[in-house]
Amino acid sequence: MTGRTEWPGDSPDSSRAEKELSPQDPAERARAICLRLLTGTPRTRKQLADALRKREIPDEVAEEVLSRFEDVGLIDDAAFAGAWVESRHHGRGLARRALARELRTKGVEPTLIQEAVEQLDSEQEEATARELVARKLRATRGLDRDRRLRRLAGMLARKGYPEGMALRVVRQALEAEGEDTDGLDESF
């Protein structure tokens, strides 16, 4: 017995290939790490570079492998950023500012971030803010007007909406419910 567990579908060719590729070869290890990480979810070049550094892959090997992955389209930070903006805006209701912050933490270049968040225009952003407020409005009924305003505007602020837009959207939602909104601008 070789000490290797035989699995259905294993062939002598596959075990020979495994022996030929030394697990100590840093380039092969780097490729395997990147492929494994990319299998689960898309990743940015920086996320993959950080993973390789953490696993002590030499920087020059990591750079070579990452560049090759970019060349063949397995790493595409622009596509990642665009998909991230689309998904997180529609799924979580995040505004451009919050999306840009998330993309920065993932290591996306500023120009790519700007291009991605520009997919959302102010009208789309405001429409999403209105939907978020409409969903939360019922939960604030029974509270005094100022507390409702703070909760709803705070929710929008945490999602990255500009203060002026948040207050305008909340004010309009409260007015639609019959709340008196006179003096709100002065108190907040």
Q: Any idea what DSSP says for residue 21?
A: S
- pLDDT (tens digit, 9 = 90+) per residue, 145-186? 889 899 999 999 999 999 999 999 999 999 998 776 666 554
pLDDT score, position 40: 83
pLDDT score, position 184: 57
What angle is formed at CA 99 by the lines to CA 70 and CA 170, rounded to 5 degrees? 165
B/e letters for 145-177, b = 16+ CB within 10 Å, e = fewer, are eeebbbbbbebbbebbbbeebbbbbbbebbeee
Please say whether the beta carbons of 29 and 23 come within 8 A: yes
Please say whether the beta carbons of 61 and 27 come within 8 A: yes
pLDDT score, position 23: 58
5 vs 153, more confident: 153
- pLDDT (tens digit, 9 = 90+) per residue, 53-67? 999 999 999 999 999
pLDDT score, position 134: 94
Q: At 141, is the pLDDT very low, low, confident or very high (cuts 50, 70, 90)?
A: confident
Q: What is the pTM of this model?
A: 0.77
